[in-house]
């Protein structure tokens, strides 16, 4: 286990990054993430962003209007929601397995929380998310890479494919192949754009992508791949 459960470990690059750390395999993920958010100020979390401009750049690229229906999955307590509201986006949904993280997000939003829908659900075993209206944009930063098992990934991508409307977008930002092998005490599954395209299938086309080096609150650097895909319309 990591000495610091919030650190993102790069010391184990030769290990099989696709297998969950055995000692954490049986952990209840909701409990794990709730404990993580309870035990740390959000600005100290290893994924905290004060600047969400890489994500905003790809959102701008979609050309979506301000009333676009935007689903931020594994949103945690992200500052992205503040930024989107301040830019006038007014149809936002924030979902996460951790109710603690969403409570923190609500607190930071204050009265603006009324403008956001919050859903506590598991992306790999969804219940509430199965019933939502299709969205124009699915945003995932640093969530998919925690799903190491094929079954988890299949559940995630099934949900993604049926949740995005025809010609809607998927913005996926994950650890790239040079990234760390662990984060928040969990093994991660690193990605490149070809792996994401493969999982999305032929119904999606890559619109844009770039590498981004994220600087953690500790000062450590973490390489990400940012991708924007569009769901194809009917032939
Ligand atoms: C590294 S954090 C990233 C949070 C946020 N996207 C950001 O960029 O600040 C990963 C997030 O994924 C959430 N998460 C992990 N497993 C999940 C699951 N199975 N379903 C939904 N959310 C999950 C965690 O609770 C956490 O908020």
Residue range 165-218, pLDDT digits in tens: 999 999 999 999 988 899 998 999 999 999 999 999 999 999 999 999 999 999
In a domain, 13, yes or no: no
Residue 175 lies inside a defined structural domain of this protein: yes
Residue 51 covered by a domain? yes
Q: Rounded to the nearest whole angstrom, what is the distance from the C-alpha of residue 97 to the centroid of ligand 1? A: 7
Share of residues in the chain with pLDDT > 70 (%): 89
Domain holding 159, by residue range, is 28-231
Residue 207 domain-assigned? yes
Classify residue 16: in a domain, yes or no.
Answer: no
- Tell me how far the alpha carbon of residue 9 lies from the centroid of ligand 1, in angstroms: 17
Q: Could you give the CA distance from residue 121 to residue 97 in angstroms, rounded to a whole number?
A: 5
The answer, yes or no, to whether any atom of ligand 1 lies below 6 A from the CB of 102, is no
Q: Closest ligand 1 atom to the C-alpha of 29?
A: 16
CA–centroid distance, 33 to ligand 1, in Å, is 8
3-state secondary structure of 114: helix
Going by the DSSP 8-state scheme, the letter that residue 176 receives in this structure is B
State if residue 141 touches ligand 1 by the CB under 6 angstroms criterion.
Answer: yes
Q: Is residue 6 part of a domain?
A: no
- What local confidence, expressed as pLDDT, does residue 180 receive? 87
* Stated pTM of the model: 0.91
pLDDT of 6 over the 50 cut: no
Q: Which residue has the tokens 């989107």?
A: 84
pLDDT on residue 234: 87
Helices 150-163 and 193-200 cross at an angle (nearest 10°) of 70
Tally of domains in the chain: 1
Distance CA(58)–CA(51), nearest Å, equals 14
Strand partners, 213: 223
What's the CATH number where 88 sits? 3.40.50.150
Q: Are 9 and 2 in contact (CB under 8 A)?
A: yes
The predicted structure's pLDDT at residue 8 = 38
Contact 37, 77 (CB under 8 A): yes
The CB of 123 under 6 Å from ligand 1? The reply is yes
- Asked whether 29 lines ligand 1 (CB < 6 A), one says yes
> 94 versus 24: which is more confidently predicted?
94
If we measure between CA atoms, which residue out of 218, 70, 224 comes closest to residue 143?
A: 224
Residue to substitute in 33, 190, 214 for testing ligand 1 pocket (most ligand atoms within 8 angstroms of CB): 33
Residue 54 belongs to some domain of the structure:
yes
State whether residue 19 is helix, strand or coil. Answer: coil
DSSP H helical segments within the chain, as ranges? Answer: 22-25, 29-39, 53-62, 80-86, 99-109, 150-163, 193-200
What CA–CA distance (Å, rounded) separates 230 from 172? 11
From the CA of 142, how far away is ligand 1's center (Å)?
7
The SS3 of residue 136 is strand
pLDDT value of residue 102: 98
Place of tokens 């290893």: 46
Does a structural domain hold residue 79? yes
Bridge partners of 223? 213
């Amino acid at each position: 286990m990591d000495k610091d459960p919030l650190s993102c470990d790069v010391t184990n690059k030769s290990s099989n990054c696709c297998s969950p750390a055995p000692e954490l395999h049986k952990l209840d993920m909701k409990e794990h993430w709730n404990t993580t958010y309870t035990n740390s100020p959000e600005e100290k979390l290893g994924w905290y962003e004060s600047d969400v401009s890489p994500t905003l750049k790809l959102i701008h690229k979609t050309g979506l209007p301000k009333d676009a229906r935007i689903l931020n999955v594994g949103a945690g307590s992200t500052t992205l929601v503040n930024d989107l509201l301040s830019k006038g986006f007014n149809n936002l949904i924030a979902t996460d397995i951790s109710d603690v993280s969403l409570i923190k997000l609500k607190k930071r939003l204050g009265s603006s929380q009324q403008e956001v829908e919050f859903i506590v659900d598991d992306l790999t075993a969804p219940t509430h998310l199965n019933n939502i209206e299709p969205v124009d944009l699915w945003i995932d930063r640093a969530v998919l890479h925690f799903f190491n098992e094929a079954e988890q990934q299949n559940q995630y991508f099934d949900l993604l494919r049926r949740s995005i409307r025809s010609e809607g977008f998927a913005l996926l930002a994950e650890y790239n192949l040079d990234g760390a092998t662990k984060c928040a005490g969990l093994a991660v599954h690193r990605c490149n754009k070809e792996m994401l395209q493969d999982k999305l299938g032929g119904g999606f086309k890559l619109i844009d992508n770039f590498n981004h080096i994220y600087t953690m609150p500790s000062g450590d650097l973490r390489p990400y791949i940012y991708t924007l895909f569009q769901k194809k319309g009917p032939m």
